[in-house]
Structure 1
Amino acid sequence: MIDCTVIIPALNPNESLIEYVKTLLSEGVGHIIVVNDGSLEDLKYIFTELSMIESCTVLAHKENSGKGRALKTGFKHYLNQKNAITGVITADADGQHSVEDVCKVAKALVNSNEGIFFGVRDFNESNIPVRSYFGNRITSFIFQLLFRYRLKDTQTGLRGIPHSELKWISELKGERYEYEMNMLINAAKRKIKINEIPIQTLYFNNNASSHYNPIIDSIIIFHKLITEFFHSTYTRRLHFQKLMSGKNHDK
Structure 2
Amino acid sequence: MNQAIIIPAYNPDQNLPDYIRQLKQHGDFGIIVVDDGSTLPSKPIFDSIRGIEGCTVLIHERNLGKGAALKTAFRHVLEDCKTVTHVVTADADGQHAVEDVIQVTRETTRSARGLVFGVRDFVHPAIPGRSLFGNRLTSRLFHMLFGRRIQDTQTGLRGISRRELRWLMMIRGNRYDFEMNTLIHAVRENVEIREVGIRTIYLDHNSSSHYRPVLDSVRIFLKIIAGYFSGSSLYVKRAERELVEET
State whether TM-score is above 0.5: yes
- Match in the other structure for 2:95: 96
CA contact (8 A) 1:6 1:88 kept: yes
**Number of residues of Structure 1 aligned to a counterpart in Structure 2:** 234
Distance 1:75 1:40 in 2: 23
Partner of 1:165, secondary structure, is helix
Distance 1:85 1:129 in 2: 36
Q: Does 1:69 align with 2:64?
A: no
Distance 1:51 1:103 in 2: 21
Partner of 1:195, secondary structure, is strand
Q: Does 1:160 align with 2:173?
A: no
Opposite residue 140 of structure 2, the aligned amino acid is: F
Displacement of 1:166 in angstroms is 0.9
Displacement of 1:234 in angstroms is 9.1
- The aligned runs of 1:1-251 (5 Å cut-off) are 3-232=2-231
CA contact (8 A) 2:118 2:196 kept: yes
Distance 2:85 2:149 in 1: 27
**Cα RMSD (Å):** 1.5
Opposite residue 70 of structure 2, the aligned amino acid is: L
Deviations 1:17-67 (A, max 9, x none): 001111111210420100001111011011011112111000111111111
Query: Percent of pairs identical after alignment?
Result: 49
Distance 1:152 1:51, change over 3 A: same
Partner of 2:118, secondary structure, is strand
Displacement of 1:130 in angstroms is 0.4
Distance 1:130 1:113 in 2: 38
Moved more, 36-45 or 226-235: 226-235
CA contact (8 A) 1:84 1:163 kept: no
Displacement of 1:189 in angstroms is 0.9
Q: Which has the larger radius of gyration?
A: 1
Distance 1:232 1:183 in 2: 14
Opposite residue 11 of structure 2, the aligned amino acid is: N
Deviations 1:118-170 (A, max 9, x none): 00000001000001001000100111111111011000000000011110001
Distance 1:213 1:21 in 2: 26
Moved more, 91-100 or 20-29: 20-29
Q: TM-score if structure 2 supplies the norm length? A: 0.91
Displacement of 1:110 in angstroms is 1.0
